[in-house]
Structure 1
């Protein structure tokens, strides 16, 4: 099984300029690929393959885009491949139509060829056309790396690589664990374990309050420096934008770290299978009153982490059908309560009189999913 390893880089000022150049090249070529595909479609042509676009790019490098030779050749080639893969996923109905990447919103990252990546003892990594860069942790030596990516998270540079690891051979229990995700609590397990919603803690609320204050402050400065229909970006505005980026980064790291702690604790109970529900997050986000709370819970990331951690330990992960009535079914007599509302936090069965917490009842029903 391939697991990723991510370590921080310590580039010099000159190396950091070259890293930014590679990031800009990857974004430019990605947008160039989308533009070529759109132009070709308007002229009645079919989808241009990845190989043909790469050949076209090689010709352009000798004339118009000769500056691409300053960065690694694989940065541009992989950007073309990423854009073509995005279109392939769109044609299959797996994702939305690819959009142009902007300097402000796009992820700051680029690809590095796994063959040309060199690692030496002393926490050193060699990146093509950039040189040797020190890392804060030693990457494994003399192993096969897959999909190396260099990224920037608005504060530090990182390199992430995929490394082949053998799956863990552990003795599992005979427990079928149901996990119910929600907004009041992040997750309620069928064994009674509750993982709280970290967005309701004082620490996160204090950071979110600071974020709102900075956003109001920068909004007032934009309005004050407005010239006609254009907004002028002053040095103070740039400083505030950097502060806002750091706050967003801090919130994202807190939530991601808590998701890792939660999913790791779930798989460490060693159940032979874990059952979660298939949530329609896209439909749930249409509720304007709950969309912000749903976004902060990061349900997709929770499921992604749980999938690879279960696979690594040999635990079966089952995703219950989207229309399975886990909340409406009585875990005692299996009768379905059709008039259950969202505000009803305590489940009381109309037939047997069984009373239980709504989320715990749902998780128990999920643990019994398709066992009969």
Structure 2
């Protein structure tokens, strides 16, 4: 088939061109500040923490007062009125009392004008958001449990967010090495800002906010950027224009593709485990802090902690780089990606000491991060992403004859079908089954469409057969036919692709 024929065939599968769309992306730059700028940045982060704790103390005092009055059977009409928790109301209250509370107790000098007003506004907004999450969780509007907000400690991560004011990139005179923050000024970056500067100059990007933080021993700024993407162009013509890949993630191999490629698990944390143990023993011989007696840590203890922090930074950076390269290659090389809906949090939640090694390995692999990155990268590139149902037996199903095994222990790494004798690697067999799900979701097509929107794909409910008293699924055929069934009944897939 010629390139022209392939292009025409793919054009027929794609609907009318979609209009340009807006996505939110983060651009993070490591800073190289001067000592004066470091003190200013610490002051802003401390101001945000002060405003957060002040707002939370006001709300907590009001709740405690109302609860105490009700305990003494005070009539509802005489109970202290409840205060508003909105960011606007708390910020308005802050402006009326800031000259009385933001005062140096030694000198009596009002210190709040030393920082940008955004430091206090963002701290109050964070408190209002935390209180809103707590009330939504109690009322059922938010899934999961959410406790009452807690006060922020001085030992918490230093952070400050700017949403208004003079912040952004310094582009005067072709400068690509400085960022601008309110009241702090121009700060030099450790890397070039050319990529973001080019987008802002051409008008395809707009910086919405900037978050200053101190993480892993480095100051960094993260810009939340609103980027306008053009209408989705036709995907590039490749040798396999209707390419579908199933991705089975695991621990022995980080990812096994339905194409047969097996990507090894780098095990970044295990490579540095010996050095971390050595540094941990060294830190135990130093004089550390003691909250009970108020003892401060020694300089030697702090130096060891810096070394431990540097090792963890190296591990996190290596893991992040490897996962980004993997997910980027998947969304660029294939039109449709199918993954499993794994509950990593549930897999590591319980088990005690006997499965501590397994939980550590699961966290080290970053399996949930693969799913998260694929979710937003497929939206950027126009690739389709299908997520198989959590209970779909991808490992137990034979990719050749679709017979489902009753049991398949984790220690069995080779899949052997009892019905047809098909033999394959366990993970590769699961990846083939995941790739086959794309055809089911697309309504029985031979392959998934090339990046088109499949939100209207037919959704099939997951049917889990009841269990008989002997432990065999009800309706299971006898002998060699046991487990045979229509795979469509287990093929519920959730389309994670949004236009």
Q: What TM-score, normalized to structure 2?
A: 0.67
Q: How many angstroms apart in 1 are the aligned matches of 2:388 and 2:84?
A: 37
C-alpha distance in 1 between matches for 2:365 and 2:58: 38
Contact 1:125 1:132 in 2 (8 A): yes
Match of 1:145 among 199, 203, 207: 207
How far apart in 1 are the matches of 2:406 and 2:30? 52
Instruction: Write out per-residue CA displacement over residues 141-186 of structure 1, whole angstroms, 9 at most, x where no aligned residue.
Output: 4452023112222333222213314156351631222211211121
Partner residue, 2:118: 74
Query: Using a 3 Å threshold, how does the CA distance of structure 1 residues 27 and 335 change in structure 2: closer, same or farther?
Result: farther
Query: How does 1:179-198 map onto structure 2 within 5 Å?
Result: 179-198=247-266
CA distance in 1, matches of 2:143, 2:368: 18
Kindly state the Cα deviation for residue 257 of structure 1 after the two structures are TM-superposed.
Answer: 1.0
**Following superposition of structure 1 onto structure 2, how do residues 189-228 of structure 1 map, counting pairs within 5 Å?**
189-199=257-267, 205-222=270-287
Q: Distance in 2 between matches of 1:33 and 1:331?
A: 58
Distance (Å, rounded) in 2 between the aligned partners of 1:227 and 1:316: 52
Kindly report which structure 2 residues correspond to 1:1-372, keeping only aligned pairs within 5 A, or say none.
1-42=23-64, 43-44=66-67, 45=82, 48-65=85-102, 66-90=110-134, 91=137, 92-93=142-143, 96-97=146-147, 98-104=149-155, 106-121=156-171, 122-123=175-176, 124-135=178-189, 136-138=191-193, 139-140=196-197, 141-142=200-201, 143-163=205-225, 164-166=227-229, 169-171=233-235, 173-199=241-267, 205-222=270-287, 233-271=297-335, 273-285=336-348, 286-288=350-352, 289=355, 290-369=358-437, 370-371=440-441, 372=444
> For residues 59 and 257 of structure 1, do their structure 2 counterparts lie closer, same or farther at Cα, with a shift above 3 Å needed?
same
1:330–1:96 Cα change, 3 Å:
farther
After superposition, the C-alpha distances for 1:131-150 in whole angstroms (9 at most, x for unaligned) are 11122313414452023112
SS in 2 for 1:179: strand
Shift of 1:60: 2.8
Cα–Cα, structure 1 residues 300 and 165, in superposed 2: closer, same or farther, change >3 Å?
farther
Partner SS, residue 352 of structure 1:
coil
Tell me the SS of whatever aligns to 1:63.
helix
Question: Cα deviation per residue 1:245-300 (whole Å; 9 max; x = unaligned)?
Answer: 111111111111111111111112132x2121111122111234211111112223
Is contact 1:171–1:270 with CA below 8 Å preserved after alignment?
Answer: no
The answer as to whether partners of 1:278 and 1:322 remain within 8 angstroms in 2 is: yes
Shift of 1:99: 4.2
Q: 1:39 to 1:281 in 2, by over 3 A?
A: farther
Contact 2:168 2:210 in 1 (8 A): no
Q: Aligned in 2, Cα 1:195/1:26: closer, same or farther, shift over 3 Å?
A: farther
CA spacing shift, 1:348–1:27, aligned 2, 3 Å = farther
The CA RMSD over aligned residues, in Å, is 2.6
Higher strand share: 1
Once structures 1 and 2 are overlaid, which stretch shifts more, 124-133 or 57-66? Answer: 57-66
Distance 1:267 1:20, change over 3 A: same
Are 1:147 and 1:162, in contact at CA under 8 Å, matched by a contact in 2? yes
Inter-partner Cα distance in structure 2 for 1:309 and 1:48: 36
| Partners of 2:118 and 2:164 within 8 A in 1 | no
Q: What is the number of equivalent residue pairs in this alignment?
A: 366
Unpaired stretches in structure 1, ≥5 consecutive residues: none
Equivalent pair of 1:149/1:161 in contact (CA under 8 Å): yes
Q: Kindly tell me: are residues 150 and 253 of structure 1, through their superposed partners in 2, closer, same or farther at Cα, counting changes over 3 Å?
A: same
Q: State whether residues 27 and 79 of structure 1, in contact with CA within 8 Å, keep that contact through their aligned partners in structure 2.
A: yes
- 1:365–1:67 Cα change, 3 Å: farther
- Structure 2: tracts of 5 or more residues without a match: 1-22, 68-81, 103-109, 445-499
Question: Which has the bigger relative contact order, CA under 8 A and spacing at least 6?
Answer: 1
SS at match of 1:10: coil
Name the CA shift for 1:255/1:227 in 2 (closer, same or farther; >3 Å).
Answer: closer
